[in-house]
Structure 1
Amino acid sequence: MKKLLLLLTVTLIIGCNDSPKKTVTKKEDKQRYFSLERVAELKKRCVENGDTEAFGNLVDHYGNTPFENYELLPVSIIMADKYNCDNARVAIYFCFLEMQNKGRDEKQFFKLDKSKQDFILKYLMDGAKNKNPGCLGILNRLLENGLKMERNKEKEIEELYKKTTANKGFMRLGF
């Protein structure tokens, strides 16, 4: 009987000691989409070479690792400014929404201070000039929700949006 009790006690102690280690490992795996080394490599490829595939992987990583998403903004700015990457311009918009408003509710754009709005709009307008559907779609929604711009810029966005989305089956509402 003593041997059975001793065996059960040892099994219980060993079982208890192993469980937390496995749980912590699984939790860490879920929290980090890519390893730190992989993220560093992707950032380097973006900053040094303007690698759009690496940038897409970073967007995926930070989308799945929300506690680090602020790290995407500087890379996005470099990709937009140095390499004319329109997807980075869209990422800048969403980075600001997430950092300033703890979410992606686009109506929260209007709660940002004017300098931040202007900063974001500059990037979205650059993407709109390149006929980027993401930038045009965001600008279109902002205009529908009350964004005020010079009438000629509104018209330009409207025309570009119509041309860009006409072949994709989208309809412009509210203009």
Structure 2
Amino acid sequence: MTVALGRAGLGDLWYRWCDRRRDWSSEATGAYEQDSLLTEHGGYTALPIGEFMQAYRTAGATVTRGSRLGDPRHRSFTVEVGEGPVLVGLAVLLGRGLNSQECSSWVEVDGVRQAEPVRLHAVARDLRLSRDETVPGPDGPYPRPIISSRSHLEVSSREIVALIADVAGAWPPVE
């Protein structure tokens, strides 16, 4: 799974999605009347789970409420993208009162899980370190995407769906 995610570009993309200061509206295709989620106190207005789920659906994935991993009662949903017999799943757990996304992914072929699920933030870190690249320190982006605007959600969900579609299309990875 790590090889497939590395080839799809996770090592760099993950930290891009964690960048709350980026001008996401310049990359979004939608126009949002209330785009920024920044509050007057410096935090972010929490979006409803339905808005997250819709963004991933719009990006082309199948989305269901509740995570297929862990406790489905929390603010969570499952994103799935398939290519033939290969299905790549992504469990997204939203932070309480935050728009942070904890993402774990797995691959199934003909309904059989190929390996244990991996946490994307850990794989991204490992990929960068294996290339002798730095990972953001305490002053850098939080190691999980915290959605700062509706355009940030649109662009990151579109790119995450494209990444897992790449993994599905290239499975099994050749070392």
What TM-score results when the alignment is normalised by the length of structure 1? 0.24
TM-score in terms of structure 2 length: 0.24
Q: Which has the higher contact order (CA 8 A, sep 6+)?
A: 2
Quick check: which one's strand share is greater?
Answer: 2
Largest Rg, 1 or 2 = 1
More helix by share: 1
